[in-house]
Amino acid sequence: MLDWMKIHGVRIIIIFAIGLIIYFIFQNIVPRFIKRTIVLQMKGKPEVEIKKRSQTLSSVISKTIGIVIGILVLFTILAEIGINIGPALASLGIMGLAIGFGAQSLVKDLINGLFILIENQYGVGDVVKVAGIAGLVEEVNLRRTILRDLDGIVHYIPNSEITMSSNFTREYSRVNMNISVAYGENLEEAFENAAIAMFEAMTDASKIAQKLEDTVEVEGFDKKALLYNWLETLLVKFETTENLYSNFKVTIIQCTEESLRLKAKIYGEPFDPERQNGIIDEEVCGVIPHSHS
């Protein structure tokens, strides 16, 4: 027994050690190789999309390689112990056929998961809706997709249940917000309230100091067009100057022969991420006013 341990025991330890070394080598090489490949394939795409795609594929491929290495090490150790692995391999083939017939949903999971990854339908970090459930993708592999919804509930969804997927964050996202605006005593006050409501949707307007003064003039063929142009102009000023505004004084709205003209004083300050930490990362990129009777 001691002689057997000296000969075969040492070989088993060496086999196990070699398996671990190969596993850790692949764990370091695979993510780097995949990231370089994805960067070339997705040239010109946003960095966040490249990162999510790389993380998803790296996770799936690394785990698959780990399973394959584990199986190879196991069979090599069994052969070293003296167990004939020929019948075992034949049994695995028969067992695989039995599983294929008896666990068709599992096979469908794997096939659907493969197409999800190949087609890049979604990846880790995306916000998606699959199988009637919307949430953040925490993990995706060949068999299942793991989502966390807005309530913090984690959902484990077999890929065979996914017949349609909706990705809310592919390259860009859009949020539609309904903001109620007080009409005010007159039209000028209503326009001021609309501007305040828009910036309140972006950050806490009470944290915006009135350090800067600027003048805005816009035109529109009717009140709705004038309101749209007014809010759109304020957004453009924010995007180009990174100034936030919290106080608006519409001094005059004139009616001309062909249009309405608005002139206003606006007050604010440059965006300070340390104080105004409530501002949304994806800034408002457009407004569509709606009137209600």
CA 92, CA 261: separation in Å to the nearest integer? 80
SS3 32: helix
260 neighbors 220 (Cβ within 8 angstroms): yes
Other beta carbons within 10 Å of 281: 4
Sorted by where each starts, the structural domains of the chain and their CATH numbers stand as 2-102 (1.10.287), 121-167 (2.30.30.60), 187-270 (3.55.10.10)
pLDDT for position 119: 85
CA distances from 288 to 104, 177, 224, 264, 285 (A): 49, 10, 9, 21, 11
pLDDT for position 280: 47
Q: Of 215, 245, 235, which Cα lies nearest the Cα of 288?
A: 235
Identify how many contiguous H helices and E strands the chain contains and give both numbers: 7, 8
Q: Specify the DSSP class assigned to residue 175.
A: -
What residue type is assigned to position 198 of the chain?
A: M
From first to last of its 293 residues, what are the pLDDT tens digits of the chain? 666 677 778 888 888 899 999 999 988 888 888 888 888 877 777 777 788 788 888 888 888 888 889 988 988 888 888 777 777 666 666 666 666 665 677 778 888 988 888 888 898 888 899 999 999 999 888 889 999 988 889 999 999 999 999 998 877 666 666 666 565 567 888 888 888 888 887 788 788 888 899 999 998 888 888 888 898 899 888 888 888 898 999 887 777 777 888 999 999 998 877 766 554 444 444 454 555 44
What's the pTM? Answer: 0.49
Other beta carbons within 10 Å of 266: 22
Provide CB contacts within 8 A for 58, sequence distance 6+.
30, 31, 34, 35
pLDDT for position 42: 77
Other beta carbons within 10 Å of 16: 14
CA distances from 176 to 43, 209, 276, 286, 287 (A): 30, 28, 22, 10, 9
- CA angle 165/279/194 to nearest 5° reads 95
pLDDT for position 147: 93
Instruction: Please state at what angle helix 104-118 crosses helix 47-81, rounded to 10 degrees.
Output: 140
160 neighbors 154 (Cβ within 8 angstroms): no
pLDDT for position 201: 79
CA distances from 163 to 22, 130, 249, 283 (A): 37, 8, 53, 33
